Amino acid sequence: MSEQTQSFTPEFTGGFAAQTMIDDPAYASQLPPQPPAQPIVVPGIPQFVGRWRFLLVVVGMWLAGAAAGAGFYYWWFQSPDKAMPVFAVLVFVVACIVGSLLTAMVQERPNIAAMSLALMSGPLAAAIGAGALYASVAFGWLVI
């Protein structure tokens, strides 16, 4: 079979079939020059939280945690059966941990990342609140 009568089908042409007129340097010189792409400004999300906003988020979560700790301590102090208050404290600690882990997975939201850090330290704030209530009872400032 001679080369002039041999026909190629697309599945057997291989990489040579991808060459087109655009790949031809003579054709490329006939195209008008393209201007360079102009940069555009896309509004972004800041990747940080200001010091005061972080402080407000942490203080707000700590106040809620301290109130919860004082409430748990008062409930434990008044309860004849200590099982339910201790179980509630366990649920509180687990909820703080799981909530902190879930909020830490949120991307591109620095305020939620700050809340995650505050939630992680929620049990510490609860212990401080319970300690403050215990100290006020022990020193006689409050009578329960």
Please tell me what DSSP assigns to residue 135. Answer: H
Residue 87 belongs to some domain of the structure: yes
Nearest to 58 by CA among 113, 133, 129, 127: 113
Which pLDDT score, from 0 to 100, does residue 5 have?
A: 53
Domain membership flag for residue 62: yes
- The residue that leads in pLDDT, 68 or 21, is 68
The residue type of 96 is C
Give the model confidence (pLDDT) of 40-71 as tens digits: 887 777 778 889 999 999 999 999 999 999 99
| 32 inside domain | no
Q: How far apart are CA 58 and CA 90, in angstroms?
A: 22
pLDDT digits (tens, 9 = 90+) for 99-130: 999 999 988 888 888 999 999 999 999 999 99
The answer as to whether 20 is a domain residue is no
14: left (phi over 0), alpha (psi -120 to 50) or beta: left
Q: What's the chain's average pLDDT?
A: 84
Record the tokens describing residue 92, joined without a space. 């509180």
Domain membership flag for residue 38 = no
Let me know if residue 102 belongs to a domain: yes
Assigned domain for 28 exists: no
Structural domain tally of the chain?
Answer: 1
In a domain, 131, yes or no: yes
> Domain of 118?
51-138
